[in-house]
């Protein structure tokens, strides 16, 4: 089974560099999908309240027979639940659906600047961390100004910022900012939701005898980024973790760089 490297977070625990994401996995399918992921060797699962599949993820965890300490479970607070008291209530509900005593990583799903509640939300996250109910707290979709404000006004530096990141949105500037502040960059839509047909990706894949998805995921690994690809297809679930026996060379990395046009697939965090 693949040995997935880990990255130690600024708040202590180590996150597997490759995890399994369950956005758009039907709630009724989540149990089966996560069970397949465990069988393939994934130990990190990324869900969220808004995916409506925390219960299925929890059922798979309960049936897996895996020791809780081997797993790294992430969930996220939805925008409507931002605010101090509402965050604490939403967290209790997520934990109940997952059937767990703690989560490894809890993320503010979006900054939602129009609501301006992420500082109060973060103070509730700090309480959950102090109470031992989450091992690490982080954010998602935060820009540099959002992070700067959070770090100026609050005591805890986020462990992780989970953002849209794939070859056409390489997020060089944000990733460099994260490195300076000890924040781990986690890529959502790491496979650009399956858009893998750019010519350089195809030719690098042919050169190494690998698939386009493996090339893109390997690119994330070599940049020191955590990636959480989603698939409900058994062969792809296995393909996406078979990454640790080959490497991209300098020429490959230079070719990947030409794909970075700054094009987003998902919403802009400033306005969403
Ligand atoms: N924080 C946020 O705001 C946010 C936003 C979006 C996503 N996320 C997280 O990031 C995770 C991943 O992002 P994502 O689901 O948007 O996109 P993704 O992982 O980039 O791509 C998933 C798509 O690619 C296909 N695919 C997977 N492996 C493949 C392979 N080896 N070859 C060809 N196609 C392949 C999947 O199809 P099949 O499933 O049909 O195989 C699916 O259509 C989510 O599940 C979620 O956990 C977070």
- The predicted pLDDT at position 2 comes to 73
State the closest ligand 1 atom to the C-alpha of 48, by its place in the atom list counted from 1: 47
DSSP state of 28: H
Report whether pLDDT(129) > 90.
yes
Pairing of strands 226-227, 134-140: unpaired
Entry pTM: 0.98
- The predicted pLDDT at position 24 comes to 96
Minimum CA distance residue for ligand 1 atom 39: 231
Q: Among residues 9, 33, 198, 172, which one has the least CA distance to residue 105?
A: 9
Report whether pLDDT(88) > 90.
yes
Span 207-258, pLDDT tens digits: 999 999 999 999 999 999 999 999 999 999 999 999 999 999 999 999 999 9
- The predicted pLDDT at position 3 comes to 87
Span 173-202, pLDDT tens digits: 999 999 999 999 999 999 999 999 999 999
Length of the chain: 272
Between CA 165 and CA 188 the distance in angstroms is 6
DSSP state of 18: B
Active-site residue, selected from the candidate residues 42, 51, 106, 118:
51
118 is catalytic: no
Span 13-45, pLDDT tens digits: 999 999 999 999 999 999 999 999 999 999 999
How would you class 84 by CB atoms within 10 Å of its CB: exposed for 0-12, middle for 13-18, buried for 19 or more? middle
């Amino acid at each position: 089974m693949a040995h997935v490297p880990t990255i130690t977070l600024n708040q202590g625990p180590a996150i597997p560099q490759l995890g399994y994401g369950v956005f758009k996995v039907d709630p009724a399918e989540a149990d089966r999908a996560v069970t397949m992921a465990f069988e393939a060797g994934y130990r990190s699962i990324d869900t969220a309240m808004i995916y409506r599949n925390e219960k299925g993820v929890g059922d798979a965890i309960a049936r897996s027979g895996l020791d809780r300490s081997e797993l790294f479970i992430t969930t996220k607070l939805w925008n409507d639940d931002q605010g101090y008291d509402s965050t604490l209530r939403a967290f209790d509900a997520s934990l109940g659906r997952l059937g767990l005593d703690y989560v490894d990583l809890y993320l503010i799903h979006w900054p939602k600047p129009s609501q301006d509640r992420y500082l109060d939300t973060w103070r509730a996250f700090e309480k959950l961390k102090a109470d031992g109910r989450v091992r690490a707290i982080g954010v998602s979709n935060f820009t540099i100004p959002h992070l700067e404000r959070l770090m100026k006004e609050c005591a805890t530096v986020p462990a992780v910022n989970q953002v849209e990141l794939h070859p056409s949105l390489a997020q060089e500037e944000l990733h460099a900012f994260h490195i300076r502040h000890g924040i781990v960059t986690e890529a959502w839509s790491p496979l650009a939701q399956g858009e893998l047909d750019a010519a350089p990706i195809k030719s690098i894949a042919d050169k190494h005898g690998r698939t386009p998805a493996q090339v893109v995921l390997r690119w994330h690994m070599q940049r020191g980024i955590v990636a959480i690809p989603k698939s409900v297809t058994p062969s792809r679930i296995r393909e996406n973790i078979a990454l640790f026996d080959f490497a991209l060379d300098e020429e490959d990395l230079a070719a990947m760089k030409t794909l970075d046009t700054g094009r987003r697939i998902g919403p802009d965090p400033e306005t969403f």
